[in-house]
Every structure is written in C-alpha cells, then in structure tokens.
Amino acid sequence: MNDASTLPTTLVLLGAGKMGSAMLRGWLALGMDGHGVTIVDPYPADDLMELAKEHGILVNPPAGTISPPEALVLAIKPQTLEAAAPDIAPLVGGNTLVLSIMAGKTIANIAQRLPQAKAIVRAMPNTPAAVGRGITGAAASAGVNAHQRAAASALLSAIGAVEWLDREDWIDAVTAVSGSGPAYVFYLAECMAKAGEAAGLPADLAMRLARATVEGAGELMFRDAATPASQLRVNVTSPGGTTAAALEVLMDPNGLEPLMTKAIGAAKRRAGELSG
C-alpha cells in the first residue's frame, strides 16, 4: 500500500542504522513530510544528518521535549530495549502505534517494557529493504485498529512487500525463510562460483558469472510474478540437457531440498531461542 495519505503525520524513529535509514528514505520518497519526523540515534551518520537537514527532520532533541507521536518506530538493537525503556516510555501516548523491527522481541515483551503501549506491530524485514525490494512479515496486537494497521502497512511497504501474519509465532519461521534468506542466496552465488572454479574457470570470471546469474534469475522471477518458480525452472530445463543433469543432483532425495529444510529449521529454532 504505497499511499502517502495513510502515513502518520508525526513519527519518532528510534535507531537510524541501516534498516532504520532505509525505512526513512522510503517514507520520504512516498511523500512523508519530514517536519513531522524526529530521529533519536546516538551516532547519526553524516549522510543521515544531511538528509535530515534537507527535509526538516529533527535529530536528537533534548530529552523530555518530544511529544508522543502517531507512530513510534523501534529500530534499536534488541539487547538495548530493557535499558532504554524508561526513556522510551514517555514517547508512547494512548493512540501511539508502536512499530518494532527489533529481532526476537515479542509483542508481549514490548508491552511489558512499555505498558502504556496498546497498539503494537512486530515486524521482520530483510536487507533488500535497502534497495526497496525487501519483504516484511508483520503481526499486530489486538489493540491495533484499522487505521493503525493501514499506517503500519504504509510504513513497511516503503521498503518492499508486506505480508500480514495471522499468528505472531509465525515470525520465527518468517525470520528463518526471508529474514535470513538473503544470506542463503549470497552463499548460493559463492558456491556456484567455487564450482565454476572447480570446472576450470578463473575465480573472478566464475564469480561474475555466478553473481549475474543470481541477479538475473531473481529479476526474471520478480518481473514474471504470475509464473510459479517451479515452472520457471521447467522453462529452462531441456530434457536430457545440461540443466537437467545438474538438477538431477540438486533434486536428489539427499539434495538441496532436505538441506534447505534442515537449514531453515535450524534458523527457526535459533529465532525461538532468541525471542523474548
């Protein structure tokens, strides 16, 4: 929902690291008025300060001078929440939407630290958000109304697609699939490049080929969204050809699918261990 009319008119962004900054740039690109935005970050980057100056964004005002906004975005490191909670609490008003992208912090945990927060959305974006091509899984507390849900959708869709989850506990699986998923794809490119070296190619050429292939295949899948991934695979697989020979190995009962299932299972378990 890339509609600026559903964006909050006042927002406080706590934490403006890579993800927080990516979100901010997305909001501004959608048309959010920077004069309604306040950033609180102990070490704002130079480019962030330039962006703030350009758009009239307030950065690190004196403590106690910030009024509760329509939306409070928690983009801080999760391990800092408990210590920071007393300073965050005054920023939460009765109608404030609290949108958290803190990994592992549940709605219950946030509500415990910020008891005045009634409307909480827990979200798990991924790193392609930096180029506007991320995907975010989001779960809402019972106190989130339709207007706040629309606002959260607008804020999150500024960095890519949004999937609303019926159950918060699905976030551990979302983390394992899409939150951590970019690393799997990058590693696939590494493995392809190493295999290319083993096949006799120079290392730099093998890596260029692998990277371009992953990039191009991803773009093809993005542009042809109506075609299932399985059909895209079939479309480039000639019977008895080279691709079929490789897929016979990858699709073996002990091939890529069980390995990926094991890997995602491990990531999900670890996400559960870190939740709290």
- Which pLDDT band holds residue 274 (cuts at 50, 70, 90)? confident
Superfamily assignment of 4-174 in CATH? NAD(P)-binding Rossmann-like Domain (3.40.50.720)
Residue 174's pLDDT is what?
A: 97
Superfamily assignment of 179-274 in CATH? ProC C-terminal domain-like (1.10.3730.10)
Residue 148's pLDDT is what?
A: 97
Q: Examine the pLDDT at 1 and tell me if it is beyond 50.
A: no
Q: Examine the pLDDT at 223 and tell me if it is beyond 90.
A: yes
Kindly report, residue by residue over 239-258, the tens digit of the pLDDT.
999 999 999 999 999 999 99
For the chain, the domains span 4-174, 179-274
- Cα–Cα distances in angstroms (integers) from residue 51 to residues 34, 38, 46, 54, 58, in the given order: 10, 12, 9, 5, 11
Residue 59's pLDDT is what?
A: 97
Cβ partners under 8 Å of residue 274, min gap 6:
103, 104
The model's pTM is: 0.91
Structure tokens given for 36: 């309604």
Residue type present at position 260? M
> What is the mean predicted confidence (pLDDT) over 49-58?
97
Kindly report, residue by residue over 189-201, the tens digit of the pLDDT.
999 999 999 999 9
